[in-house]
Each structure stands twice: as structure tokens, then as C-alpha cells.
Amino acid sequence: MNMIISYYSVTNGGKTTLTNKLIKTLPNCCVVHQDDFLKKPDQIEVGDDGYKQWDVITALDMEAMTNTVKGWMENPVKFARSHGIPLAPLSEVTDPENQTHILIVEGFLLYNFAPARCFSKSYYITIPYEECKRRRSERNVN
């Protein structure tokens, strides 16, 4: 059985913290971070306000992200091995053919691109405005 779990939230909304806890707990668990598909800085549009527009769908290579998810769907064992993800030992699995594999897809604009919506379960993480504002103000942007 294979399962794709997705969750999205604002930038600094706790997605990576949740992901890090889940991958320590769940066996055969791989992760796709939408942030890993941000385009290079020179490819990011500048808005009317003079700032680069990082929080828009055009700042992301969504086709590459979709292909990555499809790669996991085609062969989660091969995907895990190629990404250095340890798999549960077969001795712990009663039926290797029915071994569960999980893919976590996390990001801030997951549902703005129709081909990426192939998830078994989806969650929206909310945080209070003041907490989001505090986290963003403490963010170290290089």
C-alpha cells in the first residue's frame, strides 16, 4: 500500500518541523519539499513593490516537482533508495508485497497547480497571525 500525505501552510508555518518529526516516526517515509523546487534568484519576477516575488506559483518549477512525485508513485522503493532513505527491514514486515510506503509532500502553494493534486490525505496547517509575523521577522534571509 502506498500513501501520499500532503500539508500546506504559510511560509514559516511549521511544515518542516512537522516533517522532521514524522520521518523519524514513520517507516519507509520519503519527503518532497516544495521549497526545493524554487527557481534560481535570477529567474524570480520582481513585483511593482521592487521585491522578488518568491510566494507565487511562477517562482516554482512545479513540473519538476510533479515529476518527482510521479517518480515516487512509479517505484517508491527505488525512489527511497536513490534518496538514501532507509527502508524497514523485511524481517519486520509480514508480507513484503503489502509493505506500506509513505510520501510526504509539503509546501506553501501545493494546491495552486492541478497536476500536483494526487494526494491520499491533505491537511492545511494554520498558525496565529502574530506567531507567523514573529517567525518571519526572526527569519534569516541570505
User: pLDDT tens for residues 100-120?
Assistant: 899 999 998 888 777 666 788
pLDDT for residue 13: 86
CA-based nearest residue to 35, from 3, 9, 5, 71: 9
User: What is the spatial distance between Cα 52 and Cα 84, in angstroms, rounded to a whole number?
Assistant: 34
Cβ atoms of residues 15 and 123 within 8 Å: no
The pLDDT score that the predictor gives to residue 47 is 92
111's grid cell: 494546491
Length of the chain in residues, anyone?
A: 142
Give the pLDDT band of residue 72 (cuts 50, 70, 90). Answer: very high
From the candidates 35, 48, 49, 55, give the one annotated as an active-site residue. 35
pLDDT digits (tens, 9 = 90+) for 15-57: 989 999 999 998 899 999 999 999 999 999 999 999 999 989 9
Strand ranges across the sheet with 29-33: 29-33, 101-107, 2-8, 121-124
Distances, alpha carbon 65 to alpha carbons 72, 88, 106, 110, 128, in Å: 11, 26, 11, 10, 29
Global pTM reads: 0.84
User: Active site includes 61?
Assistant: no
Mean predicted lDDT score pLDDT of the chain: 86
For every residue of 8-57, DSSP letters joined together read E-STTSSHHHHHHHHHHHSTTEEEEEGGGGBPPGGGSPB-TTSSB-TTSG
How do 2-8 and 29-33 pair as beta strands?
Answer: unpaired
pLDDT of residue 116: 63
